[in-house]
A and B are shown apart, each in its own frame.
Chain A
Amino acid sequence: MTLPTPTLPDLTAPRAQVLLAIADDALISGHRSSHWTGVAPSLEEDLAFSTIAQDGINHADLWFQVLLGNAGDSSGHDARARVDALGLGRDPADYRHAVLCEREPRDFAFTLARHWAYEHLDALRLDALTGSSDPDIAAVAERLRHESRYHLEHADHWFARLSATDGTSADDDAHRRFGEALAVVLPEALGLFEPVDGEDDAVTSGLFPRGHVALREPWLAVIGPRLREVGYDALVPSAQDRVPDAAAGGRRGRHSPDFTEDVWPEMTTLYRAHPGARW
C-alpha cells in the first residue's frame, strides 16, 4: 500500500531553516527533559520537567505550524500530517538543533546546567523574534515569551541554589558538582549560536532580528556576571572561544550519536512503524 506523502514546503529556504532551528531546539530539549518524568529527585521537579518537556514539544509543534503557514489551524488531517512529517518524518541530518540539546541528561547537575544555558538563549531569541518582520513569527514569539518566563525562573532558581557559596551547602558538594557540569555544558552551549544556512538573509530581511551569531554577545553579558558572582570565573566563555568540534555543526545537520542512535530512533519509532497513523 502506498501512503500519501504530505507535501512540505522548500525546507532549504532561510525562513524554513531558521524556524527549524528554533523548533528543533525546543523539540529535542523537550524530549530530553521528559527523561525526568517519574524519576526526578522531588515531586516538584517531576512536575517541573514534565511541564517543561510538554512545553518544548508543543512549542516545536507551533513553530512547525508557523513554518507551514497555518499557525492555529492545524486541526485538519492534512495539516496535522504535515506537522508530524516535520517533527518526526525527517532524516537525522535534516534536524537543525544545537548538539548540546541532544546530549544525554547524565545527572541532575548536568541537566540543570544545560537548562540554564539554553533557557537564557531561548529567552533572548524569543525577545528578538517578537520584532520579526514576519507577523506570524512575531505573534507566536510574544505568546511563547510569556510562557517561557517560568522556564527561565526555574533555571535561575536552581543556578542560585546549586552554586551558593554562603555555607548553605555543608561541604560545597553542590557547588563543585554544578561547576563540573557547567564546565562541560558551557563550551558546547556556544553551538547554540551557530547560524543555519541562509541565516544572513533572514537577518537582513528582518525575519530573524539579530540572528543566532549576534545573540552570543548578549547571552555572555547575562551569564558572565552570574558565573563570576559565585566563583565560577574560570568557566566564563570568552568572546573568541570556538565551539568544540564534537558539539559543532548541529545547525547544519551534523549530529552526535546521542541524537542519531538515541533520541532520534526512540522519538520516531511509532511514526516509522505505523506510517500515516493518527492519534
Chain B
Amino acid sequence: MARMMRTAPVDVDDVRRAVTSVPDPELPPVTIGMLGMLHHLEVDGAEVTVELLPTYSGCPATQMIERDVRAAVGGLAGVEHVTVRFRYDPPWSAARITDAGREHLREFGIAPPGGDVQGAVTPDGRPTLPVAVGASDPRPCPYCGSTDTVRDAPFGPTPCRDLRYCATCQQPFEAFRN
C-alpha cells in the first residue's frame, strides 16, 4: 500500500502521446497516430491496455509495432503492465489517416489515398495492368502534383502499396492502397 501511495497515477494523456508517437517501422516519418491505428486505450492503476487497428491484416510490421508500443508505454512512470491488442472491428480504413499523416506520406513519395483532387486516368496506349480499383481511386503525383497519372500495377513492394506512374514528370511512385 505504501508503494501505491508514493507512485504518481499514470496520466492517460501521456499514454496516448506515447502510443501515437510510435513510428511505422516501414514508413518512419509516419506515426501510428497519424495512420489512425489507435482505437482505444484504458488505464487501470498501473495496467495499460491499448487496442490498435491494423492497416492491413498481413502486415509484417504488425509485430514490430506491437513491440514498439509496448516499449513506449512500458517506459512511462508508474506503468507496470501493458497489453496490446489488435482489433478488426471496426475495420481500419484509409479515411482514418490524419491530414498530417497524408502530408508525411506524400513527402515520403507515397501518394496518400482519397483527398479532393481528382486525378485523370489517361492510359497512353501502353499495355497497363487492370484499373478496376485504380480507375476509381486516382492519385496525384506525390512529386509534382500532376493528376496525369496511371496505376501500373496493383501490387507493390509491400501489401499496403501499389505502383503508379506520372506522365508529367515521368516518375514512378507508390500509392498507399485504399
Interface residues of A (CB under 8 A from B): 44, 47-48, 50-52, 54-55, 57-59, 61-62, 71-73, 75, 135-136, 138-140, 142-144, 146-147, 149-150, 153-154, 156-157
B89 touches A54 (CB 8 A): no
A48 touches B153 (CB 8 A): yes
Query: Which of B16-24, B79-87, B113-121 lies at the binding interface?
Result: B79-87
Q: Is residue B125 within 8 Å, beta carbon to beta carbon, of the partner chain?
A: no
- Complex Cα–Cα for A51 and B66 (A): 22
Q: Is residue B154 within 8 Å, beta carbon to beta carbon, of the partner chain?
A: yes
- Complex Cα–Cα for A167 and B56 (A): 40
Q: Which 3 A-B pairs have the closest CB atoms?
A: A58-B58, A157-B130, A139-B89
Also in contact, A55 and B159, with CB within 8 A (given A44-B152, A147-B56): yes
Query: For A139, what are the chain B residues with a Cβ–Cβ distance below 8 Å?
Result: 87-89, 91
Query: For A146, what are the chain B residues with a Cβ–Cβ distance below 8 Å?
Result: 91
Can you report 7 A-B residue pairs in the complex whose CB atoms are below 8 A from each other? A58-B57, A59-B58, A138-B89, A140-B88, A144-B57, A150-B154, A157-B129
Chain B at the A interface: SS class? loop
Interface residue from A59, A75, A138 paired with B84 (Cβ < 8 Å): A75
- Complex Cα–Cα for A73 and B83 (A): 9
Q: Is residue B144 within 8 Å, beta carbon to beta carbon, of the partner chain?
A: no
- Complex Cα–Cα for A58 and B56 (A): 10
Nearest-CB residue, chain A, relative to B56: A147
B88 touches A54 (CB 8 A): no
Q: How far is the CB of A261 from chain B (nearest CB, A)?
A: 28
A47 touches B88 (CB 8 A): no
Nearest-CB residue, chain A, relative to B157: A47
B155 touches A47 (CB 8 A): yes
- Complex Cα–Cα for A52 and B155 (A): 9
Nearest-CB residue, chain A, relative to B127: A161
- Complex Cα–Cα for A147 and B94 (A): 12
Q: Is residue B156 within 8 Å, beta carbon to beta carbon, of the partner chain?
A: yes
Give the interface size class of chain B: 20 to 34
Query: For B157, what are the chain A residues with a Cβ–Cβ distance below 8 Å?
Result: 47
Also in contact, A51 and B57, with CB within 8 A (given A143-B88, A154-B154, A156-B130): no
Q: How far is the CB of B32 from chain A (nearest CB, A)?
A: 15
Q: How far is the CB of A63 from chain B (nearest CB, A)?
A: 10
A44 touches B87 (CB 8 A): no
Query: For B91, what are the chain A residues with a Cβ–Cβ distance below 8 Å?
Result: 139, 142-143, 146
B154 touches A48 (CB 8 A): yes
List 19 other contacts, CB 8 Å, given A138-B89, A147-B57: A44-B152, A44-B163, A47-B153, A47-B155, A48-B153, A51-B156, A55-B58, A55-B159, A59-B57, A59-B58, A62-B57, A72-B54, A72-B85, A73-B85, A75-B66, A139-B88, A142-B88, A143-B57, A153-B154
- Complex Cα–Cα for A71 and B155 (A): 26
A153 touches B58 (CB 8 A): no
- Complex Cα–Cα for A71 and B84 (A): 12
Interface residue from B88, B92, B154, B156 paired with A71 (Cβ < 8 Å): B88
Nearest-CB residue, chain B, relative to A46: B155
- Complex Cα–Cα for A232 and B30 (A): 49
- Complex Cα–Cα for A136 and B56 (A): 17
Query: For A135, what are the chain B residues with a Cβ–Cβ distance below 8 Å?
Result: 89
- Complex Cα–Cα for A206 and B159 (A): 32
Q: How far is the CB of A184 from chain B (nearest CB, A)?
A: 25
Nearest-CB residue, chain B, relative to A55: B58
Query: For A138, what are the chain B residues with a Cβ–Cβ distance below 8 Å?
Result: 89
Nearest-CB residue, chain A, relative to B67: A75
Q: How far is the CB of A146 from chain B (nearest CB, A)?
A: 7
Query: For B57, what are the chain A residues with a Cβ–Cβ distance below 8 Å?
Result: 55, 58-59, 62, 140, 143-144, 147
B86 touches A153 (CB 8 A): no
Q: Is residue B132 within 8 Å, beta carbon to beta carbon, of the partner chain?
A: yes
